[in-house]
Every structure is written in structure tokens, then in C-alpha cells.
Amino acid sequence: MPEVPRPQPRPSVVELTPGKPQLFVDDYLVAHRENLIRRLGEVRKYEGNPVVSPEHPWEGGTAFPFGGGVYRVDGEWRMWYNTYRRWLRGRERTSLCYATSPDGLAWEKPKLGLHEVAGTRENNVVLSLEMDNCSVVYDPRDPEPERKFKAVAYTKGDEGTGLYGFTSPDGVHWRSLSRILIPKAGDRTSFWHDTLRGRYVVFTRYGPILPGRYIFRAESEDFVHWSRPELVLHWSEIDRAHGRQHYGADGFVYGDMYLGFLEVYHYPYRRLDTELLCSRDGRAWERVCEGETFLPNGPDGDFDHFWAFPAASPPVRVGDELWIYYAGRMHPHP
């Protein structure tokens, strides 16, 4: 059994930016408290859910944005989501699909004619290969127009199995990078942009250090050269006592700190829900109100009864609300 590494230590001092929001999700801003406990607020699910559902043969019965992502680009809402289809010899092929919306609620799937999947090119597929969890970042600050959109996916290439990168000028036409980004990284990966420190970040599994369902973090300044993955969180005593594992995670910038979501796998029930994460430096992460569900599953029979986890992209601010797009599944994990 490999030695379990330790996650990064919490920073002893944090910088605060005047005018930026400060959340009491941790104790950095608390000098003293008495007869006071921290509790999560309640999210309100949109009554029209799901806003995007699989309806075509090339979607294979799935439409998952926990790969992919949702962004507002030049006033238009754009979504990238993963679909899964079983192909010849039992191999799994994923399509990254593209949808647009004027308001973030009513979505259209354009017929792009780029890739033949399920016998047709009349589809909204923008990338299709044997991969898993293709995750998209919109990066308008990149000085190279051809790299305005970036994606990371778990797949097998000339340099073995791991995470490979893709770039696009428009989010529709993609090209692959020639070199592997992180060899032997895991199949459950999210990709996000740390705009505070100018880093690209992935949360992934990493078997060479610790096999199993653990969350590791790697970063890059140029999207090409990446650090060796580091463990983000240990399983806690509560996790072990109740058969919980860390299935996946993602993060995003909020003010001058970081928030994120931890995908908790309740192994005895084959069920996944979401807890809230926070960090002050983007490397040392902790759970907010461990054991409390941030994004709960729906009731029996709903599309999110067994699985509810947000998209890898940050929440979108609309007025005084944060819109969090998420994927659901009404069947237990295999």
C-alpha cells in the first residue's frame, strides 16, 4: 500500500482586497466565536430542470456538463457537454457537444456538420474520440486568438494514457496538442482557470501516487507544461465510517479566494451528491460544513435522484443570483 501523501498546509496569512466580497466559509476572518455554528444556505433548483436533455442518437442518453462547461461569450450563452455511446468492441467514445442560448434557459443544438456520429453529420458535435470528461475553459485574455478556448480530456494518445489538451479560436473548431499534458492522470477530471494567479488548474485522480478515488491538483502557466499532481483532500473519519469517497471536484475564483465543489460518492448506495469547498491560496482546500450537502439529489424518480454535480465552469452571475449548472442521473452508479 503506497504511503498516503499529505495535502498542502493552510496558509498562515491571507491577503484581502478592499471591495471584494468576503465569505465566512472558513475561520480566517473570525477572531472569536461563542455559541455559534456554521451552516450552509439552501440552493433553489430551477423549476424547468433539466434545461438540456439527451434526445438524439449521437448523445447516447447522456448530456453531462461536469465535463464541458457553461459561459457567456459576447452576450451569448454557450454550453459544452459530454455524451457517451458504446461503440464496437465495448470501447466508450465520448462526444463533446455544443449548445447556445439567448437567456441561459432555452437552449438550441446547432447542426454543425463537423463530425459523423451515429451515422450522421447533422449534429452539434464539436469533438469526438475515445475520451472521458472533456472539460472546457473560456480564456479571452490569452493573446493568441487560436487559444481563446481550451479543453482537457482523459484519453490515450501517442504518449500513453492521461490528460491531453485541445485549443480552439471559437469553441467549435478544435485542434489537439501534440504532447501529453499529465501522463497517467485519471479519468475523472475538471479543468479551470485560476485568474488570480494566472494558472491553469486540473483536479484529477492520480494513480502513480495514490490509486483510487482521491482528488489531486496540478497547475500550468502556459497550458503546455504541468506540475506533478498534489493531493487536495484526505478522506475524513466521517467518510470512512459511512463509506464515502471523493469522486471528483472542481474549483473557481470568488472575490480574492476560491470556492469549489466536491463530488461525494456514497459507495453503499451508489449515489453521488455535492459538498462545498473553499481555499485561500488555490492549493490548500477544506470542506465547508463537512457532511452537509450543498447540492442535494432530487426525489425518487427525478432526473437527479442518484447524481447531482455542477459543471466544471464557474457559476454565472445573473443580477444578484449565481446560476449553477449541474448534471443529474436518475440511476445508481454502476
**Segment 272-290, tens digit of pLDDT:** 999 999 999 999 999 999 9
Please write the tens of the pLDDT for every residue from 89-148.
455 578 999 999 999 999 999 999 999 998 999 999 999 988 888 999 999 999 999 999
Query: Is the pLDDT assigned to residue 304 strictly greater than 90?
Result: yes
Please write the tens of the pLDDT for every residue from 59-85.
988 899 887 899 999 999 999 999 987
Give bridge partners of residue 23 from the DSSP assignment.
none
Spatial separation of the C-alpha atoms in residues 58 and 116, rounded to whole Å? 9
User: What is the predicted pLDDT for the residue at 88?
Assistant: 41
Cell of 48: 424547468
User: What is the predicted pLDDT for the residue at 142?
Assistant: 96
Spatial separation of the C-alpha atoms in residues 13 and 25, rounded to whole Å? 16
Cβ-based burial of 268 (10 A; exposed 0-12, middle 13-18, buried ≥19): exposed
Please write the tens of the pLDDT for every residue from 241-253.
999 999 999 999 9
Q: What is the pTM of this model?
A: 0.94
DSSP 56-116: SGGGTT--EEEEEEEEEETTEEEEEEEEEEE-GGG-EEEEEEEEEESSSSS-B--------
Query: Is the pLDDT assigned to residue 4 strictly greater than 90?
Result: no
Cell of 171: 469553441
Q: Do 23 and 80 touch, CB atoms closer than 8 A? A: no
Nearest to 200 by CA among 182, 181, 222, 179: 222
pLDDT category at 179 given cuts 50, 70, 90 is: very high
Query: In Å, what is the CA distance from 129 to each residue of 162, 247, 249?
Result: 14, 23, 23
What mean pLDDT comes out for the span 43-56? Answer: 96
Spatial separation of the C-alpha atoms in residues 212 and 40, rounded to whole Å? 29
Report the SS3 class of residue 214.
Answer: coil
Query: Is the pLDDT assigned to residue 1 strictly greater than 70?
Result: no
- One-letter amino acid at 177 equals L
pLDDT category at 2 given cuts 50, 70, 90 is: low
pLDDT category at 87 given cuts 50, 70, 90 is: very low
At 237, give phi and psi (nearest 5°): -65, -35
Q: Do 64 and 54 touch, CB atoms closer than 8 A? A: no
User: What is the predicted pLDDT for the residue at 8?
Assistant: 87
User: What is the predicted pLDDT for the residue at 15?
Assistant: 84
Report the SS3 class of residue 146.
Answer: helix
Please give the mean pLDDT across all residues of the chain: 93
Opening angle at CA 261, ends 255 and 262, nearest 5: 145
Spatial separation of the C-alpha atoms in residues 87 and 94, rounded to whole Å? 10
The DSSP secondary-structure symbol of 49 reads -
Cell of 197: 494567479
Please write the tens of the pLDDT for every residue from 220-242.
999 999 999 999 999 999 999 99
CA 308 to chain centre: 12
